[in-house]
Structure 1
Amino acid sequence: VILATGGNGQLFIPTTNALICTGDGIAMAYRAGAPLMDMEMVQYHPTTLAGLGLLITEGARGEGAHLYNAEGERFMEKYAPNKMELASRDVVSRAEQTEIDEGRGFPNGTVALDITVVGRKRIHEALREIVNVGRDFAGTDITREPIHIKPGNHYAMGGIKTDINGQTEVPGLYAAGECACVSVHGGNRLGANSLLDTLIFGRRAGQHAAEQGRGVSMPTPAGSELARERDAISDIVSRDRSGRRLSEIRAELGATMDGKVAVFRDEDRLREALEKVKQLQEEVKTVAVDDRGSVFNQDVLGVLELQFMLDNAECIVMGAIERKESRGAQYRTDYPERNDADWLKHITLTANGDIPEVGFSEVTMTQWEPEERTY
Structure 2
Amino acid sequence: AFSRTDENKIAQRAFGGHSFKRACYSADRTGHALLHTLFEQSMKRGGELQVYSEWYMLRLIINDGVCKGVVAMNTKTGKLEVFHARTVLFGTGGYGRAFAITSNAYANTGDGIVAAYRAGVPLQDMEFVQFHPTGLYQHGILLSEAARGEGGYLLNGEEERFMKKYAPTKMELGPRDIVSRSEQTEINEGRGGGPNKDYVYLDLRHLGKEKIMERLPQIYHLAKDFIGVDAIKDPVPIQPTAHYSMGGIPTDNDCQVISNETGELVTGFFAAGECSCVSVHGANRLGTNSLLEALVFGRRAGKKLFEVTPEIKWSKVNEKEELSAVRLEIDRILHTKATENLSAIRKELQNTMTNQVGVYRTGEDMESANEKIKELQDRFTRVKVENKGKNFNTNLIEALELSHMLEYSELIVAGGMAREESRGAHFRNDFPKRDDDKWMKHTLAFRKEDGGYELKYRPVRVTRYQPEERKY
TM bucket (normalised to shorter chain) is over 0.9
TM alignment of 1:1-375, pairs within 5 A = 1-106=88-193, 107-108=195-196, 109-168=198-257, 169=259, 170-222=266-318, 223-240=320-337, 242-352=338-448, 353-375=450-472
Structure 1's consecutive aligned runs of 4 or more residues displaced over 4 angstroms after TM superposition are none
What amino acid does structure 2 have at the position aligned with 1:202? G
CA apart distance, 1:15:
0.5
Q: 1:81-136 CA distances to partner (integer Å, 9 max, x unpaired)?
A: 11111111011101110111111112341111111122222112211111111111
Q: 1:317-368 CA distances to partner (integer Å, 9 max, x unpaired)?
A: 1111111100110000000001111111111111113432111111111221
Give the alignment's Cα RMSD to 1 decimal.
1.3
Q: Which moved more, 1:231-240 or 1:176-185?
A: 231-240
CA apart distance, 1:250:
0.6
* Residues 336, 381 of structure 2: 8 Å contact kept: no
Cα distance in 2 for residues equivalent to 1:289 and 1:117? 51
* Residues 160, 175 of structure 1: 8 Å contact kept: yes
SS in 2 for 1:151: strand
Q: Which moved more, 1:16-25 or 1:66-75?
A: 66-75
SS in 1 for 2:457: strand
Q: Going by fraction, where is strand more abundant, 1 or 2?
A: 2
* Residues 268, 312 of structure 2: 8 Å contact kept: no
CA apart distance, 1:212:
2.0
Q: Going by fraction, where is helix more abundant, 1 or 2?
A: 1
CA apart distance, 1:63:
1.2
Cα distance in 1 for residues equivalent to 2:256 and 2:192? 46
Cα distance in 1 for residues equivalent to 2:403 and 2:451? 14
* Residues 239, 289 of structure 1: 8 Å contact kept: no
Cα distance in 2 for residues equivalent to 1:104 and 1:85? 17
* Residues 251, 270 of structure 2: 8 Å contact kept: yes
Q: 1:202-248 CA distances to partner (integer Å, 9 max, x unpaired)?
A: 222232223322133444432223212112212222234x3211110
Which residues of structure 1 form unaligned runs of 5+?
Answer: none
TM-score (norm 2): 0.77
Cα distance in 1 for residues equivalent to 2:163 and 2:311? 57
CA apart distance, 1:276:
1.1
Q: Taking every aligned residue pair, what percent have the same amino acid on both sides? A: 48
Cα distance in 1 for residues equivalent to 2:108 and 2:362? 26
Cα distance in 2 for residues equivalent to 1:114 and 1:295? 47
What amino acid does structure 2 have at the position aligned with 1:364? R
TM-score (norm 1): 0.97
Cα distance in 2 for residues equivalent to 1:285 and 1:174? 32
Cα distance in 2 for residues equivalent to 1:256 and 1:8? 15
